[in-house]
Amino acid sequence: MSAPHVLIRIGGEGGEGIISTGDLLSRAASRQGLCIMTYRTYPAEIKGGLAQFQMKLASDPIRSIGLRFQHLMAFNQEALDAFHDGMLKGGTIYYDPAECPDLSKVSGEIERVPIPLTDLAKEKGGSIRGKNMVALGFLSRLASVDLETVAGLVREKFKRKGEKVLDSNLASLNAGYDLGDQTIDGRGVKLTPKSQRGQSIVISGNEATMLGALAAGCKYMAGYPITPASSILEFATRHLPRFGGTVVQAEDEISAMASCIGASFVGKKAMTATSGPGLMLKGELITLASTQELPVVIIDVQRGGPSTGLPTKQEQSDLKFAIYGTAGEAPKIVVAPATVEDCFYLTAKAFSLAEEYQMPVIVLSDTNLAVRTETVPEFDVSRVDVAERLRPTPEQMKDYKRYEDTPTGVSPIIDPGTPGGLHIAPGLEHDEYGTPCYTGVNHTKMNAKRFRKLETLSKRAEEWMADWAPVEGAELCIIGWGSTKGAIQEACQMAAERGIRVSHFHPRIVAPLPEAQIREALSKVKKVIVVEENFTGQFSHFLKAKFKFDPVEVLRSMGVPITPDEVLEEIVKVHETLHPAKPQGASYAHR
């Protein structure tokens, strides 16, 4: 049974303050001790188009937000038309009658309550700009969120816009709350915070990512603005210099990547952040870093593709490029956070891996993680293991070989200017000293050396590499990666409630794969379902090539996260193929 929760969606035109409304309400709920998870979609345009913000408030930690909701606040007709279909039975639409003239499409099972957002904002706040504040006041009352807490957040947010704007917004907020007092009656929601929630914070995936980088000792960040990764660059600009780091907004994606390579060459932990099209542009330089064996972390916040595609929507479709997108054969490590909490710990881990294995590490985040905010336990910096690059011994310095062919493939690295360490780091194939060398024998040897680092890593079977939730007696196992985890976990739980046992394997490292762990997961079940949010089954192809099996593929490229219900539906289908129902009245006795 799902724990008590409430799901609210707010929809309206981009620029009307939909995102602010949801953000303020969910943050206030969190300050009251509730767990929150939020999701937003917004248009690619700066103003206009349909924006929506969905939030789940609950007493217990939340795994997945789902897509259906009980309460809809519709600012305009477009939002009402687009979203009424997604409502749970018995839900309520609150709509602005000045903007929503036509309710004819809404089914009879949905209650409809007019809320004069525009009129109240004009009358009480003196400006229709405050209609989102009317909605915020009303929804605060609906969700039993303390008005003073919300007002405090409104003050924080709008004080920079001047007293007049602030006063007008507070007046609209109060008007909305008062209206709620008069109209809400039995529809109000009262959730009790769990006292044992512990120290927690509300944070987005992108913020958690940059915090993870700071915890790992990142000292250089260069990026070029691109949705939905820009907020990582913005966060870095505000905070990295406070920790002795440097942030550069470069003239383009390629120069951002090139300068990270330079920073790494002089010994700094360096990172960049981008999204699909930017990752492609960086491709050649990522290959260069791999050949030069330089540590660098690349955050790729995936969005809908191809090309500029669906810039503000969800998709997991950069996996193939992240793994295979190189000129020639250049090893890199690819990890994929599955939760906002993972964004912190796994980004920190990416720095350790980059330093340890001296190669680019791509962190495949996605829009879902990047823009959603979530209640997570306060990050524990003592859990971050900060690795440093391998340095030469005095013995090795007698005849320093930057690319020494070692049993692990990892060779000692020095900072430029170190006496006795003169070397070049070429993109051209080179020998152990770094001197360009084009013989086939040397090329094969250096390829083997570089790829040996991945073999060394893939043999590590450590807990952080994957979440493995085996279920005794399960015939089915779901394999997912990245932000599909919460939906899969909830689906497995719902399946268990129907008597279908399903295991769940969710790797955090996707290249190289944690082979031993995957083989174990595969060996225990009759059928595997691979769930991913792309059109062609990129991870599934990768798994099939490696492990030679035949999974059921559940693929979505709808621009929104897959829901627990969708996964459950597939589980039930596959379960039924393993256990076909006996035809009514049929007898299996031998005649």
Note the residues at the interface with ligand COA (CB under 6 A): 14-20, 42-44, 46-47, 51, 129-130, 132-133, 158, 161, 165, 169, 227, 311-312
CA nearest to 84, candidates 120, 110, 59, 115: 110
Closer by beta carbon to ligand COA, 5 or else 303: 303
C-alpha distances (whole Å) from 96 to each of 40, 135, 349 are 21, 9, 48
Neighbours of 238 (CB within 10 A): 10
Closer by beta carbon to ligand COA, 22 or else 331: 22
What is the separation of C-alpha 81 from the centre of its chain, rounded to a whole number of angstroms? 28
Task: Supply the minimum distance, in Å, between the C-beta of residue 249 and ligand COA.
Answer: 16
Task: Supply the minimum distance, in Å, between the C-beta of residue 344 and ligand COA.
Answer: 24
Closer by beta carbon to ligand COA, 17 or else 217: 17
Closer by beta carbon to ligand COA, 228 or else 412: 228
3-class DSSP string for 228-262: CCHHHHHHHHHHHHHHCCEEEECCCHHHHHHHHHH
Q: Which residues pair with 93 in a beta bridge?
A: 72, 112
Task: Supply the minimum distance, in Å, between the C-beta of residue 141 and ligand COA.
Answer: 18
Cα-based torsion angle of the residue sequence 98, 102, 103, 105 in order, rounded to the nearest 10 degrees: -150
Task: Concatenate the DSSP letters of all residues of 549-566 into one string.
Answer: --PEEEE--SSSPPPHHH
Closer by beta carbon to ligand COA, 229 or else 376: 229
Task: Supply the minimum distance, in Å, between the C-beta of residue 45 and ligand COA.
Answer: 6
CA distance 289 to 236: 22
Closer by beta carbon to ligand COA, 130 or else 392: 130
Closer by beta carbon to ligand COA, 122 or else 506: 122
Task: Supply the minimum distance, in Å, between the C-beta of residue 165 and ligand COA.
Answer: 5
Closer by beta carbon to ligand COA, 138 or else 539: 138
Closer by beta carbon to ligand COA, 361 or else 560: 560
CA nearest to 287, candidates 255, 240, 324, 342: 324
Three-class secondary structure of residue 156 per DSSP: helix
Task: Supply the minimum distance, in Å, between the C-beta of residue 169 and ligand COA.
Answer: 5
CA distance 362 to 323: 9
Closer by beta carbon to ligand COA, 22 or else 409: 22
Task: Supply the minimum distance, in Å, between the C-beta of residue 309 and ligand COA.
Answer: 10
Q: What are the structure tokens assigned to 544, written together?
A: 């099939």
Task: Supply the minimum distance, in Å, between the C-beta of residue 276 and ligand COA.
Answer: 11
Point out the residue whose Cβ comes nearest to ligand COA. 17
Neighbours of 168 (CB within 10 A): 21
Task: Supply the minimum distance, in Å, between the C-beta of residue 262 and ligand COA.
Answer: 27
Side-chain half-sphere of 590: how many Cα atoms within 13 Å? 0
Closer by beta carbon to ligand COA, 68 or else 129: 129
Closer by beta carbon to ligand COA, 133 or else 477: 133
Closer by beta carbon to ligand COA, 165 or else 189: 165
Q: Rounded to a whole number, what is the distance in angstroms from the first to the last CA of the chain?
A: 45
Q: What are the structure tokens assigned to 400, written together?
A: 């320093």
Under 8 Å between Cβ of 172 and 134 = yes
Task: Supply the minimum distance, in Å, between the C-beta of residue 39 and ligand COA.
Answer: 13
C-alpha distances (whole Å) from 342 to each of 39, 96, 465 are 17, 39, 11
Task: Supply the minimum distance, in Å, between the C-beta of residue 11 and ligand COA.
Answer: 10
- Token pair 């003169």 in the structure block, residue: 422
Cis peptide before 228 (omega within 30 of 0): yes
Q: What are the structure tokens assigned to 165, written together?
A: 């704007």
CA distance 30 to 369: 18
3-class DSSP string for 9-50: EEEEECCCCHHHHHHHHHHHHHHCCCEEEEEEECCCCCCCCE
CA distance 86 to 88: 7
Task: Supply the minimum distance, in Å, between the C-beta of residue 434 and ligand COA.
Answer: 40
Task: Supply the minimum distance, in Å, between the C-beta of residue 321 and ligand COA.
Answer: 19
